């Protein structure tokens, strides 16, 4: 067994109800580390090209990394992978924290692969290495919050749970997979994949230890790393990502009015303050919360028991909304009512909706309504006007339950525009079917490359200039000098491929020197890692995820980039006024730099040989 790994993958054929174990190949670990690195290789080999993302041939994987569940800083993450039903049948993944990932390993497995479709609703229980499927008929339709309470009563308070809410059961493409009642594997529509397999939940419990190459050395290394806290550490520990909301709005990083507005005219400082930093942690009953053994504890719980947006579940106790939720439901919708955002956050948590996709889709619907493209009859009599907090809350509930207009919006912007008869194309802000997160390429131009080229489009967590870790030694040039950015961008992409594959938290990587990444991998696994090795393995993972899409006929250059996120035409007000991003130049230089064809995006033969991916040469030609 390789150090850092439990050495086993659980495979579950839901159609047959058959469960088996596979030995985790050590060569696979060395080449692809873990998480969606190993996931990319397993799914590339096992999912046939052209498979229906919501059909039996798709595989849904829950995978940890070698640093998950170890003393590493911060080793709490796991990744869900599958063919995405949301982005044209390409590669799909979603990253998540909380407690589930470490406890999956403590239960004896590095990952679980689900194939087929269960005849009736089921859930999986893994207890100290023993796995079995249980009938989930009594769980059907339950929200995530009461479901977790019920399953902990049934299987013990020491178990951890991943589940879907009604949105996932009803195959909403904006649905996600939840754990800890608030932590979401939110993107790529993977809640719908889980729902399509009639898999309601996964319960894990166990006390097995993760084997380490040098346990004493890792303990000392962790002490040393914690003394080097820098970067975003203070902000994360005090506010979490809610602490950036005001400044993100004022800088032009955050979307305003469905990406068509400007902070100076549409959402000025006094409004942004209402949903940022001290306002958020000043809510009654606020208490910090952290994922498994996290020194940042960037999450939080709070109370909202009274008023029109009182929380109905969990005795009125809810969870602090983070930046993406605050921005997509705040300035994006011209809504400064914090109580309403706390309310929709809990609705999304309980019903299992991705707050980025849901908030973005509501922005599209509001702009269509405001411009007379949707009637009040079509909106179920909701007044979908900017900043109408009551309507925003009601529409979110409808989306999660697929009721009325919510049934149309539940599949996201691209599907909604088509169902409405191709209305409001200018207002439909997405790349490749994925709604854009709350970070604007007009503020950070490198995001345009990330949003377009990465295997999972429209994702800010996939590496690039937005996430510049402490100690990263590439020279930082003027961001609006579009030429010459490729070398830094490629290294940043590779770093976060490894962060995600290893099971580390991105916020941890932004709070401690980047050199601690290879140090921790070396100490846990016993394999020799340095930054050059990180760049090599990271680009190998990045390329294989891309190859999955190429095999499905998806060339990222065929995706449309919405004019609003690149300044075409440019804004006339605000901090990013008069900016038009030359993303085509940046993308071309990036492709040249990493050895991909600038028209087809097929990696060159020599590139594939250098990355030890020769098996792709014939597949991609």
pLDDT one-digit tens code per residue, 11-51:
999 999 999 999 999 999 999 999 999 999 999 999 999 99
51-110: per-residue pLDDT in tens? 999 999 999 999 999 999 999 999 999 999 999 999 999 999 999 999 999 999 999 999
446-619 sits in which CATH class? Answer: mainly alpha
pLDDT at position 453 over 90: yes
Average pLDDT over residues 269-292: 96
Instruction: Count Cβ atoms below 10 Å from residue 449 Cβ, excluding itself.
Output: 28
For residues 416 and 394, the answer to whether their CB atoms sit within 8 Å is no
Average pLDDT over residues 587-596: 98
Burial class (CB in 10 A: 0-12, 13-18, 19+), 620: middle
494-510: per-residue pLDDT in tens? 999 999 999 999 999 99
Phi, psi of 140 (to 5 degrees): -60, 135
pLDDT at position 112 over 90: yes
Distance of alpha carbon 239 from alpha carbon 288, whole angstroms = 9
pLDDT at position 450 over 90: yes
pLDDT at position 1 over 80: no
Q: How distant, in Å, are the alpha carbons of 66, 397, 451, 565, 567 from that of 37?
A: 11, 35, 19, 30, 34
**Percent above pLDDT 70 for the chain:** 100
Beta strand spans in 206-286 (E):
none
Dihedral sign for Cα atoms in the order 559, 563, 564, 565: positive
Average pLDDT over residues 432-450: 97
Beta strand spans in 290-336 (E):
299-303, 317-319
Distance of alpha carbon 236 from alpha carbon 230, whole angstroms = 11
Which one-letter DSSP state was computed for residue 138? Answer: G
The token pair at 434 is 């994925």
Half-sphere exposure (Cβ direction) of 389: Cα atoms closer than 13 Å: 16
Coil, strand or helix: which one is 21? strand
155-209: per-residue pLDDT in tens? 999 999 999 999 999 999 999 999 999 999 999 999 999 999 999 999 999 999 9
Distance of alpha carbon 424 from alpha carbon 404, whole angstroms = 20
Dihedral sign for Cα atoms in the order 54, 57, 62, 63: negative
Q: What is the pLDDT of residue 468?
A: 93
The boundaries of every CATH 3.60.9.10 domain in the chain are 8-205
Average pLDDT over residues 126-141: 98
Q: What is the largest CA-CA distance in the chain?
A: 66
pLDDT at position 479 over 80: yes
Distance of alpha carbon 420 from alpha carbon 87, whole angstroms = 19
Which one-letter DSSP state was computed for residue 429? Answer: -
Average pLDDT over residues 297-322: 95
- Tokens 């991003």 map to which residue? 581
For residues 339 and 304, the answer to whether their CB atoms sit within 8 Å is yes
Helical H runs in 371-476?
389-401, 405-409, 413-419, 446-453
522-576: per-residue pLDDT in tens? 999 999 999 999 999 999 999 999 999 999 999 999 999 999 999 999 999 999 9
Task: Quote the distance between the C-alpha of residue 365 and its chain's center.
Answer: 23
For residues 311 and 343, the answer to whether their CB atoms sit within 8 Å is yes
Distance of alpha carbon 590 from alpha carbon 279, whole angstroms = 41
The number of helices, as runs of H, and strands, as runs of E, in the chain is: 27, 17
Q: What is the pLDDT of residue 466?
A: 87
Half-sphere exposure (Cβ direction) of 260: Cα atoms closer than 13 Å: 16
pLDDT averaged over every residue in the chain: 97
Half-sphere exposure (Cβ direction) of 37: Cα atoms closer than 13 Å: 30
Q: What is the pLDDT of residue 560?
A: 95
| CA-closest candidate to residue 310, choices 270, 273, 283 | 283
The boundaries of every CATH 1.10.569.10 domain in the chain are 239-435
- Tokens 């002490």 map to which residue? 223
Average pLDDT over residues 257-269: 97
Q: What is the pLDDT of residue 226?
A: 96
Distance of alpha carbon 187 from alpha carbon 356, whole angstroms = 8
Q: What is the pLDDT of residue 463?
A: 86
239-435 sits in which CATH class? Answer: mainly alpha
Phi, psi of 11 (to 5 degrees): -115, 135
For residues 29 and 13, the answer to whether their CB atoms sit within 8 Å is no
- Model confidence at 304, pLDDT cuts 50, 70, 90, reads very high
Strands 111-115 and 130-135, by their bridges, are unpaired
- Model confidence at 621, pLDDT cuts 50, 70, 90, reads confident
> Could you name the CATH architecture of 8-205?
4-Layer Sandwich (3.60)
Average pLDDT over residues 104-119: 98
């Amino acid at each position: 067994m390789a150090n850092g790994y439990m050495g086993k993958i659980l495979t579950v054929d839901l159609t047959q109800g058959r469960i088996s174990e596979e030995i985790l190949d050590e060569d696979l670990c060395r080449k692809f580390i873990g998480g969606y690195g190993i996931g990319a290789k397993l799914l590339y080999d096992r999912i046939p090209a052209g498979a229906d993302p919501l059909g039996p041939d798709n595989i849904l994987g829950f995978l940890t990394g070698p640093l998950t569940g170890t003393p590493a800083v911060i080793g709490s993450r796991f990744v869900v992978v599958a063919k995405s039903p949301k982005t044209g049948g390409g590669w799909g993944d979603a990253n998540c924290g909380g407690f589930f990932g470490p406890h999956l390993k403590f239960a004896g497995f590095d990952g679980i692969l689900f194939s087929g479709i269960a005849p009736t609703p089921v859930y999986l229980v893994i207890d100290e290495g023993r796995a079995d499927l249980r009938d989930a008929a009594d769980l059907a339709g339950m929200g995530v919050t009461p479901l977790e309470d019920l399953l902990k009563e049934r299987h013990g308070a020491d178990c951890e749970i991943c589940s879907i809410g009604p949105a996932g059961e009803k195959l909403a493409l904006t649905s996600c997979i939840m754990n800890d009642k608030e932590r979401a594997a939110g993107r790529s529509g993977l809640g719908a994949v889980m729902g399509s397999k009639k898999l309601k939940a996964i319960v894990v419990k166990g006390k097995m230890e993760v084997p380490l190459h040098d346990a004493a050395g890792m303990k000392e290394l962790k002490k040393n790393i914690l003394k080097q806290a820098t970067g975003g550490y203070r902000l994360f520990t005090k506010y979490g990502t809610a602490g950036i909301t005001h400044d993100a709005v004022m800088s032009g990083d955050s979307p305003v009015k469905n990406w068509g507005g400007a902070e100076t005219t549409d959402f000025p400082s006094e409004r942004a303050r209402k949903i940022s930093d001290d306002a958020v942690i000043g809510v009654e009953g606020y208490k910090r919360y952290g994922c498994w053994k996290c020194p940042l504890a960037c999450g939080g719980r709070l109370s909202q028991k009274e008023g029109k947006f009182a929380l109905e579940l969990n005795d009125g106790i809810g969870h602090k909304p983070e930046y993406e939720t605050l921005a997509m439901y705040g300035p994006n919708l011209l809504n400064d009512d914090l109580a309403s955002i706390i309310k929709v956050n809990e609705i999304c948590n309980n019903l299992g909706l991705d707050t980025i996709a849901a908030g973005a889709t509501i922005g599209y619907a509001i702009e269509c309504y405001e411009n007379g493209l949707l009637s009040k009859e079509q909106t179920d009599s909701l007044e979908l006007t900017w900043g109408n907090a009551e309507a925003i809350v009601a529409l979110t509930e409808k989306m999660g339950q697929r009721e009325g207009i919510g049934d149309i919006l539940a599949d996201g912007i691209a599907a909604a525009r088509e169902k409405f008869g191709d209305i409001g194309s200018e207002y439909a802000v997405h790349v490749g079917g994925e709604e854009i997160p709350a970070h604007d390429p007009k503020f950070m131009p490198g995001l345009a490359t990330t949003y377009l080229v990465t295997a999972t489009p429209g994702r800010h967590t996939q590496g690039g200039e937005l996430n510049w870790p402490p100690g990263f030694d590439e020279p930082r040039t003027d961001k609006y000098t579009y030429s010459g950015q490729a070398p830094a961008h490629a290294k940043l992409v590779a770093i976060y491929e490894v962060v995600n594959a290893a099971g580390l938290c991105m916020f941890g990587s932004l709070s401690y020197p980047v050199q601690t990444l290879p140090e921790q991998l070396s100490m846990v696994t016993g394999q020799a890692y340095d930054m050059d090795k990180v760049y090599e393995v990271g680009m190998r993972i990045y390329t294989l995820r891309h190859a999955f899409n190429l095999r499905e006929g998806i060339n990222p250059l065929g995706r449309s980039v919405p004019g609003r996120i690149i300044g075409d035409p440019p804004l006339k007000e605000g901090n990013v006024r008069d900016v038009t991003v030359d993303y085509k130049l940046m993308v071309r230089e990036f492709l040249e730099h990493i050895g991909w064809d600038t028209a087809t995006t097929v990696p060159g033969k020599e590139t594939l040989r250098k990355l030890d991916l020769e098996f792709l040469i014939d597949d991609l030609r």
